[in-house]
């Protein structure tokens, strides 16, 4: 399946969902009204609890290429407690040694597509060892592409997901709908036990606000009624989109840009990368960030900041 096929329409810049690799921020002369500047970090919850647990998620568009572009330096400076990676495009045995050696993230778990090391794949890297780690969403017919890892922490489940694209001409839309249903069922099962934090490339722009050209993309993968309705059903089932919960009307906040036409420089993009939380984690949510100044992939990283109690998933006593 061609990657990001929804971006291959004739009006490539209107599709606007892959950045030019190696770009350096916004192009000169772009209208300020079309830019998004990530606001200062909210370090405390409305109830006054200070953030102490950070998870960063990034679709790397090929782990080995991402490493060659120097992205690991930014990861080390960012210092998340957990790093979620999507579209690694490599088997576990092919994970670069530089990634294996990350000092703050020694507990690493990888999933890849069966027999297809250069396709799909996710990774979950943690500062503290999870209580348990599982792979997939419970449907063998959907789990062969290595798209989901679930880690159980003391007080929540952390799910890394790379949701499949519906394909050129929506050829895989029916499969995508089945996948969405299976993911919702998986999250609901987890949520019945503990709160859930889902992070990753969910391959959907839920609102018109979440892509630059909604009218041109009504039947493009990632913005079909079917995919948006499925995401709405997830939210209606007890979950919140952390970014829109905090920033409901903020425009131009995109995480993915096409290679075509200098789209990243003009901020012609889509918001496809999310942190979705169980509603009962709202009180622990400090901030949800789009790190659109960070280069290294056709996506930018996103981060969520939570205030968790001692033993609820964060490192204890500040130890590495």
What is the 3 state secondary structure string of 105-122? CCEEEEECECCECCCCCE
Look at residue 54 and give its three-state secondary structure.
strand
Per-residue confidence (pLDDT) for residue 259, from 0 to 100: 83
Among 61, 180, 191, 201, the active-site one is: 201
**20 contacts 217 by C-beta, under 8 angstroms:** no
Residue 15 pLDDT exceeds 50: no
* Catalytic status, residue 201: yes
* C-beta separation of 27 from 19 below 8 A: no
Report the candidate in 280, 274, 79 with the shortest Cα–Cα distance to residue 161: 274
Of 30-34, 139-143, 214-218, minimum mean pLDDT range = 30-34
Work out the burial of residue 315: count CB atoms within 10 Å of its CB; fewer than 13 is exposed, 13-18 middle, 19 or more buried. Answer: middle
Q: Is the pLDDT of residue 4 over 90?
A: no
Catalytic option among 36, 61, 162, 273: 162
Mean pLDDT of the chain: 89
- For residue 160, give Cα distances in angstroms to 56, 107, 201, 241, 296: 10, 15, 9, 15, 20
Instruction: Please give the torsion angle defined by the CA atoms of residues 153, 154, 155 and 161, in that order, rounded to the nearest 10 degrees.
Output: 10
At residue 319, the pLDDT reads 38
Question: Using CA of residue 171, residue 18, residue 287, residue 71, what is the dihedral sign?
Answer: positive
Q: Residues 222, 203: contact at Cβ < 8 Å?
A: yes
Rounded Cα distance between 89 and 63, Å, is: 6
Q: Would you state the pLDDT for residue 317?
A: 38
Q: Which of 205, 208, 233 minimizes the C-alpha distance to 221?
A: 205
Closest CA to 123 of 105, 139, 144, 140: 105
In the annotation, is 36 catalytic?
no
Cα angle: 81, vertex 239, 119; to 5 degrees = 60
Q: Which domains does the chain have, with CATH numbers?
A: 56-307 (3.60.10.10)
Residue 176 pLDDT exceeds 80: yes
CA distance 153 to 48: 23
């Amino acid at each position: 399946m061609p990657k990001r096929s929804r971006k291959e329409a004739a009006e490539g810049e209107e599709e606007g969902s892959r950045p030019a690799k190696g770009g350096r921020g916004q192009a000169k002369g772009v209208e300020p009204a079309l830019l998004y500047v990530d606001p200062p970090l909210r370090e405390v919850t409305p109830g006054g609890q200070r953030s102490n647990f950070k998870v960063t998620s990034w679709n790397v568009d090929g782990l080995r290429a991402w490493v060659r572009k120097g992205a690991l330096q930014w990861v080390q400076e960012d210092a998340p407690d957990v790093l979620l990676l999507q579209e690694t495009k490599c088997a576990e045995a092919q994970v670069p040694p530089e990634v294996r050696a990350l000092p703050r993230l020694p507990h690493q778990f990888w999933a890849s597509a069966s027999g297809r090391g250069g396709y799909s794949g996710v990774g979950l890297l943690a500062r503290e060892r999870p209580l348990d780690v599982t792979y997939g969403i419970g449907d063998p017919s959907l789990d062969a592409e290595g798209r989901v890892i679930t880690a159980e922490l003391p007080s929540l489940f952390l799910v890394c997901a790379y949701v499949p694209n519906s394909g050129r001409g929506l050829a895989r839309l029916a499969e995508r709908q089945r996948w969405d249903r299976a993911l919702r069922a998986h999250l609901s099962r987890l949520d019945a036990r503990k709160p859930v934090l889902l992070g990753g490339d969910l391959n959907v722009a839920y609102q018109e606000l979440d892509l630059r050209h909604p009218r041109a993309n009504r039947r493009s993968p990632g913005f079909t009624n079917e995919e948006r309705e499925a995401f709405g059903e997830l939210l209606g089932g007890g979950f919140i989109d952390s970014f829109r919960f905090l920033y409901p009307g903020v425009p131009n906040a995109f995480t993915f840009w096409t290679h075509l036409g200098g789209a990243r420089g003009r901020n012609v993009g889509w918001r496809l990368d999310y942190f979705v939380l169980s509603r009962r984690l709202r009180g622990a949510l400090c901030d949800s960030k789009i790190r659109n100044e960070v280069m290294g992939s056709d996506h930018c990283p996103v981060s969520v900041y939570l205030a968790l109690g001692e033993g609820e998933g964060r490192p204890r006593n500040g130890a590495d």
